Amino acid sequence: MAKLFLLRHLKSQWNLDNRFAGWTDGPLAKNEAIKAIDLAKQIFHEKIDVVYTSSLFRNMDTVARIFEAVDVKYPFFIHLDGGKMQKWGNFDDISQNDIPTYVSENLNERYYGKIQGLNKTEIKIRYGEEKVQLWRRSYKEAPPEGESGKDVYKRTVPFFKKYVEKNLKSGKNVLVVASHNSLRVIVKYIENISDKKFGDIELPFGALIKYELESGGYVKMLS
């Protein structure tokens, strides 16, 4: 049975600074990389055949860190543009020491619009804590000029079905390293969680969830 690993990236500096990171790029927070060692041991206990991640640096850097933490193959980053491989080289015959790691904006974090990059505490004061919490946790509400959970679902889940599920159904073990809301909508899809219960899906930084794909669907594995 093929195995799926969903990993939320390690904490970034802007996460540490209590900002809405969204689609902005920034480094991981200091000392976060050490956590990659334990994650790598949990992940590479199984053979990983393919990796998917987003174009955000904190996600790609998390991938690189967990590969550095153990003596396994290296990630070979291949960018997907609109669901198609960018023609930057010949990727048909990569080294046996490389694991194909596909990068797509479809796995990006929620776009936070006007509040992106701003301090969360200051935004709560400006708009009210209840309203900000609704933007962050509800499925259908969106911050000003930003994305709702439903918007993220519309771009992330079709990508997941087209690529990740295809790999799983062919017997490959897949690791997906992404941000909080892109992973939340994947979990919603996998576990058939209702729109109303979407706010209950919570994945801390560095959270790892494991599933097996069986004939009857996904089965959550114990850590």
Q: Which residues are catalytically annotated?
A: 9, 109
Q: Which stretches within 24-88 are classed as H helix?
A: 35-43, 57-68
Q: For residues 149 and 139, is the Cβ–Cβ distance under 8 A?
A: yes
Structure tokens given for 217: 């669907």
CB within 8 A of 222, min separation 6: which ones?
none
Alpha helices in 69-114 (DSSP H): none
**Helix, strand, coil % in the chain, rounded to nearest 5:** 40, 20, 40
DSSP 140-162: S---TTS--HHHHHHHHHHHIII
Tokens at 54, concatenated: 């987003």
Q: What are phi and psi of 170, to 5 degrees?
A: -90, 5
CA atoms within 13 A on the CB side of 179: 29
- Under a CB-based contact definition with an 8 Å cutoff, are residues 159 and 84 in contact? no
Tokens 């690529």 locate to 163
